[in-house]
Structure 1
Amino acid sequence: MKRIEELFSEFLDCVTCLQDALNVSFSEALTETFDNLEQGRIKVEMGAPDKDTVSKLGQKYADLHYDDLTQKMKVRVYTYLTLKAVNEDGLDNNQLPTPPIVSTLVAMFMKKLLPDQKLEVVDPAIGTGNLLFAVINQLKNASHSKLDYQLRGIDNDEEMLNLADVGAHLNRIEIELYCQDALTPWLFGHPDVVVSDLPIGYYPIDENAEKYATRAEKGHSFAHYLFVEQIINNLKAAGYAFLVAPQSMLSGKGGSDFMPWLSEKVFLRSIIELPDRMFQNKANQKSILIFQNHGENVQSSEVLLTKLDSIKREEDLIKLNVKLNEWYTKNIN
């Protein structure tokens, strides 16, 4: 951990040096820093950065010994820096990287439920790409390593897509990225799988929200409800969705209308409530929502409802995996 902290400090120094020289956001300086390091040269456009900065950066880059670092170390440092980028640039909380434990849980269920074939996987709110890349890496390192994944990501923020593009390169993952409002028609066919940490909050374009059954009767609609509906509309028949969703939309007052509607549209497979300690405010609690689209030879099943008590104890993950195996044997296999 000490080595990662040292590297973070050294990389941060490089990013801020370039940021000051170009007078750009932290996110822009971060993507350009890693582009420079990956290309092995310092990009200069219209005399910026100036010769003194180029010389200074050249020495800083040399001191990093970038080519000697492992891929895993590069990815870890970059992930920490993207988190800082969100904070530094005052970006929306929806753009914060998803915690690693969530990708572990999603990958656990994907390994169990998905067929052994090439799959098209989409994240319609990809942000920095942290969730999707972590999940795919775990799948490739497990029994699905023999498979290829056709990956696509959507985001309406170009800076986020630039961060995702660098993240994909560092993870050695190929992906097609689309800069668009994910609640407008998608620019590709129906995916087999959707993986996403749903954006939470109000959707500002009321005239577009009017097209959705989950819109609010008055005022702005909640984006997370509209996203689920859009995902169902685009998901291939019998396709799966693995979504990080606010607990408030799945239970209580919020879920009283939404969950019956959802149960008519898809087959619910599982809801995994994440540990309370992950969230400072109970109102911000999240769960992992897993469902399968209607399709040929697809039937309803008992829903696996469970809660993970801790993200630190390995035995809790083992217990969840046992529950998953028992449920799968009884209901799916």
Structure 2
Amino acid sequence: MDKIEKLFNDFLDCVKCLQEALNVSFGDALTETFDNLENKQIKVELGAPDKKTIQELSHKYARLKYNKLSNKLKLQIFTYLTLKAVNEDGLDVNQMPTPPAISTVIAMFMLKLLPKEKLIITDPAIGTGNLLFSVINQLKSANHSKSDFELYGIDNDEEMLSFADIEAHLSNIDIELFCQDALTPWMFNSPDVVVSDLPVGYYPLDKNAKNFATKSENGHSLAHLLFIEQIIKNLKAGGYAFLIVPQNILSGKGGSDFMPWLSDKVFLRAIIELPDSAFQNKFNQKSIVVFQNHGKDIRNSEVFLTKLDSFKSEQDLIKLNVKLNEWYTKNID
């Protein structure tokens, strides 16, 4: 058994012990476990956990040698446990963490397109936060930590925001989190950049959906279309959006109405089809779409179009970067 596996099992043992003692979901026990470890004390409310469990947990926590672990290792274990929480608690598929390889592709485009200045960046469907935080860490690394960001995250699920809060802390990232429906007014300044893996499915609040041009004429509206419209409404003039979206809204029948509307509202910069192998079936396939809001001196460009064959080959990312540089020199620079 390697170090990571042993450590994962030791943390898992702590979470399950607390889950049983408090009679809560795996996710709640997970966030409380990391809160206990970070604060160096076991939280007790209304007599729970009891003294026997406190003693048992104290021994289990001591075996972890938590303070000697690197933040990178803590974050790795927490991410694995978050995946387990999504499965254990039967959470929605939209709440699954975004694969790390996708954040690498998004960071590549952000490094090329974004100005080197302080930026307000938000994820209006932040979930566990792993997409936004992975992208931010890559931007900081590429700019030797000189990057300056003001970060905001929105989610309507308190458990997801608890995960995001812990992940931000372990990643040494400052962020303000809001528990709200992202299709209602945002409570912070207009962002320069939006990064998000958009929730896919139907939006249940038909009355609110009527405020959007992308609403369905009959029945529930598609949440991902409403999200894109909300992002455009809130994005600063000239601001960028880097979004993971269902592939079917960009082409074929699904895109025949939506894409002309989108092309009228923003300047499309790039569409990157993600590898077929990354999804269980063709109906779940996704793409990254990059667009820029209209603004002073902002002009249209040829759209960067490509499809990634695989996430497994480093050569594929190198080829993508070469094509991106060629496109940028020809169209943006």
Q: Quick one: distance in 2 between partners of 1:5 and 1:312?
A: 23
Match of residue 293 from structure 2: 293
- Match of residue 86 from structure 1: 86
Give the match for residue 177 of structure 1: 177
The 5 Å alignment of 1:146-185 reads: 146-185=146-185
* C-alpha separation in 2, matches of 1:323 and 1:8: 40
- Aligned residue in 2 for 1:321: 321
2:331 and 2:144 map into 1 onto residues whose CA distance is 22
Superposition map of 1:2-151 within 5 A = 2-143=2-143, 145-151=145-151
Name the CA distance, whole Å, in 2 between partners of 1:85 and 1:72. 20
User: What is the percent sequence identity of the aligned residues?
Assistant: 71
Structure 2 CA distance for aligned equivalents of residues 195 and 144 of structure 1? 21
Kindly provide the amino acid, as one letter, of the partner of residue 15 in structure 2: V
The 3-state SS of whatever aligns with 2:176 is: strand
Give the distance between the partners of 2:145 and 2:139, measured in 1 at CA.
Answer: 6
CA distance in 1, matches of 2:147, 2:278: 33
Partner of 2:190: 190
Deviation of 1:175 (Å): 0.4
What is the rounded CA distance, in whole Å, between the counterparts of 1:224 and 1:250 in structure 2? Answer: 12
Render the CA deviation track for 1:261-307: whole Å, top value 9, x for unaligned: 00000000000100000001100000001000000111000000001
Secondary structure of the structure 2 residue equivalent to 1:34? helix
2:296 maps to amino acid:
E
- Alignment partners' CA distance in 2, 1:52 and 1:18: 12
- Cα distance in 2, alignment partners of residues 37 and 193 from structure 1: 34
Equivalents in 2 of 1:127, 1:234: separation in Å? 20
- Partner letter of residue 25 of structure 2? S
Counterpart Cα distance in 2 of 1:163 and 1:24? 15
Structure-1 residue corresponding to 2:242: 242
Q: Distance in 2 between matches of 1:183 and 1:296?
A: 27
Q: Secondary structure at the residue paired with 1:161?
A: helix
Q: Distance in 2 between matches of 1:26 and 1:111?
A: 37
Aligned length, in residue pairs: 333
CA distance in 2, matches of 1:68, 1:252: 53
Deviations 1:303-324 (A, max 9, x none): 0000110101000000000000
- Show structure 1 runs of 5+ residues with no match: none
Is the contact made by 1:111 and 1:144 (CA closer than 8 Å) also made in structure 2? no
Q: Which amino acid aligns with 2:113?
A: L
Q: When the two structures are superposed, what TM-score results if normalisation uses the length of structure 1?
A: 0.99
Alpha-carbon deviations, 1:35-65, whole Å to 9, x = none? 0111111111121100111111101111011
Shift of 1:79: 0.6
Q: Distance in 2 between matches of 1:4 and 1:108?
A: 29
1:8 CA drift (Å)? 1.0
Residue 327 of structure 1 deviates from its aligned partner by: 0.3
Say if 1:116 and 1:144, in contact at 8 Å, map to a contact too.
no
1:155-181: CA deviations, max 9, x gaps? 001111111111110111110000000
Q: How far 1:144 moved relative to its partner?
A: 6.2
1:315 partner letter: Q
Deviation larger for 59-68 or 136-145? 136-145
Other-structure match for 1:220: 220
SS at match of 2:145: helix
Q: Determine the C-alpha separation between the residues in 2 that align with 1:9 and 1:311.
A: 28
Give the whole-Å Cα distance in 1 for the aligned partners of 2:247 and 2:324: 20
